[in-house]
Chain A
Amino acid sequence: MLKQTEGSRAVAEAIALCRPEVICAYPISPQTHIVEALGESVKSGQLENCEFINVESEFAAMSVAIGASAGGARAYTATASQGLLFMVEAVYNASGLGLPIVMTVANRAIGAPINIWNDHSDSLSQRDSGWMQLFAETNQEALDLHIQAFKLAEELSLPVMVCMDGFILTHAYERVDMPTQQQVDAYLPPYEPRQVLDPREPVSIGAMVGPEAFMEVRYLAHAKQMQALERIPQLAAEFKQIFGRDTGGLTHTYCAEDAETMVVAMGSVLGTIKDTVDEMRADGHKIGVLGITSYRPFPLAQVRAALQNAKRVVVLEKSLAVGIGGILSTDVRMALSGIQLHGYTVVAGLGGRAITRKSLHKLFREAEQETLQPLTFLDLDWNVVNKQLERERSVRRSGPAAESILRDIGTVASKIA
């Protein structure tokens, strides 16, 4: 059914259709609307046979989900940013134990300085946590990916993060096609746990494992993610059969066939990039796009196949590996090892900095002309940066950087060029 709704509400409705049995809720922007809507569904009786638990922290949220999942229940929670970092120990534990929890990450920057707006620093910080990570481009895809995520997680007994851009998607009102309960039931069978706490068949879960077997246990987690590389496209195909939509999968390309310049990105910024590419194509530029949906497992072969015929690759990422540059671009380079082409890392949109078509036009043209630096910070205000660097050179007690910069700028305003 087509409806005009907020991204968070659409996702909450889709999750409710997946019949979760335990939902752990702890507020953090910009994820909160999702658990609010689910709480309402449970309290009103609309979503039956579900425990909605208001926990005291994100660490508890993931811990309750761990217990619920080990108890045989389909468990869900949502978080973002500092909340994800606060639960990190339990995030690793959930995947290490092989518990198929699904969690929405409403992607948001990590402080300090504290910032509630969107970038991908939070979930990318968990790239090695053993969770699968699927990135949504639109609210429709976010909704669809959650349904696929439960199936993927439970088949492999491995947890999945569905990552959607905070505010840009979570708070955007868009048209979505909401599936019916019958469709979801036909796609997603009831949760059949691989391991469960049950007095009828006592097992010990989470026992200590020493050097004699730890490597094997860790390898098995990797092997399962390698299985996911096979399974994710199949799940997308099965999804298409029932729901009629082509969403999910490992990667998506756009105008890639004859592209000399390929732009790689994840999440909602792909929309702006595709618009820009449309305009550049109209002007005769041979430029295309590779959108990565599955960040973990990372589809090395698909990325290589999509990029190997290009002359240059621009990885535009909403994340920064301080001290080296890009996070996503490191993985893309890995996919392209042995292939000589020009690679550019563009760090953009940190802390919600708007990524505009105007800036992208300039950026992509510089890439085509090979005048782009290997590592570029899109729309970085060099005046501000240089002034602060100079201040730190000249004064020992230069004060808190963010405060000094605010004084230099004079106003607090979103920087939209």
Chain B
Amino acid sequence: MTFQPIKFYQTGTFTVGNRLLTPEQRSVQSHLDRSNAINSGHRACQGCGEALGARYAIDAAMEATNSQLIAVNATGCLEVFTTPYPETSWQLPWMHSLFGNAAAVATGVAAAMKVKGRSEVRVVAQGGDGGTTDIGFGCLSGMFERNDDVLYICYDNEAYMNTGVQRSSATPPAARTATTMSVGPEPGNVFGQGKFLPAIAMAHEIPYVATATVADLRDLEAKVKRAMEFRGARYIHILVPCPLGWGTASHDSIRIARLAHETGVFPVFEAEYGVQVSALPIRKQLPVEEYLKPQKRFAHLFGAKPKVEVIARLQARADRNISRYGLLQKEVA
């Protein structure tokens, strides 16, 4: 089989087709011998961003560790849809304990590996935004502060989807959920102070923090592999659209995730030891309406009388992300 040299002939994006790359540059997902860490047959909804994100991330981690990997899972969609009794989708040693303790359980597993002289075995903990930014926050911060040798991955779909779309501390302002209803003079979620966990992780000055979306497979995989080059506490926060909770079409999950990045709503970057070291650049910033409009959870902002003030506040948040994380910088060739 012959390979063509790379030709960056696409216009308007920074992406390049997988088939144009040399084998070592190709994505893990394109490998015939990828681990399929979450095997087929699980019960995620059609278009589930979390299933996709977890599959990408864990397959990449499996490759980076030569399959010497143990996963700990918080309670949530990912846990439920992968392990309906008596079946399991997981092709690696996997453990679920509770909703709020995945980081601490992972600490225990890592300690066991160390004491057993199996330090080649690496540990990843994973959970949704509820299990990470809310109920699991204490254990996560403790794991960060001790710099335990754990990679924690948060699959952020911005609400408690497993229990039926209730608000979490990761739910964006104005979003409709089952507990922030689109009724009254200020429908949807309040404009709070926000709780952007990647920034909180950076404040712990842990070795590695990154954000990613399911829209950019290669970027996500590269970050997981990079995370595995460090020892100590690492954190990756992946935005994963939820068709059910966000009110989007199943076939639009990737598109919505890409729009989150290209509008600046979700900043994609990396940080080492508390300092940002890279950003996934936006070639052309899109207005936040492009991201909001396809989602039913924001439908109350549009219609006959669009809530221009609310949209302007959301635009201001996106603009702040862009300047704070330097998202409009030109990519270094």
Contact = CB atoms under 8 A, between A and B. Distances in A.
Most chain A CB inside 10 Å of its own CB: which residue of B68, B112, B115, B138: B112
A313 interface: no
A404 to B, nearest CB: 35
Contacts of B285: none
B86 interface: yes
A204 B108 contact: no
Most chain B CB inside 10 Å of its own CB: which residue of A202, A203, A204, A212: A204
B101 interface: yes
Contacts of B88: 204, 207
B70 A197 contact: yes
A307 to B, nearest CB: 40
Contacts of A21: 112, 115-116
Contacts of A51: 111, 114-115
B97 A55 contact: no
Interface string A63-101: 111111111110100000000000001100100010000
Interface in B77-119: 79-80, 83-86, 88, 90-98, 100-101, 104-116
Contacts of A2: none
B321 interface: no
Contact of B96 (A22, A53, A205, A213): A205
B145 interface: yes
A133 to B, nearest CB: 22
Given A93-B97, A210-B85, A59 B109 contact: no
Nearest to B70: A197
A392 to B, nearest CB: 38
B111 A73 contact: yes
B93 A63 contact: no
A71 B98 contact: no
A57 interface: yes
Contact of B98 (A54, A69, A90, A213): A90
A287 interface: no
A218 B112 CA distance: 27
Nearest to A92: B98
A112 interface: no
B111 A56 contact: no
A51 B106 CA distance: 14
Given A198-B93, A204-B90, A67 B139 contact: no
B72 interface: yes
A197 B93 contact: yes
Interface string A162-201: 0000000000000000000000000000000000011101
B90 A53 contact: no
A241 interface: no
Interface string B136-164: 00110110011000000000000000000
A-B complex: 4 closest residue pairs judged by Cβ atoms = A67-B108, A71-B112, A56-B142, A63-B104
Given A90-B101, A201-B93, 14 more contacts: A21-B112, A56-B145, A63-B97, A73-B112, A73-B116, A90-B97, A90-B98, A199-B121, A202-B94, A204-B83, A204-B94, A206-B97, A207-B84, A208-B79
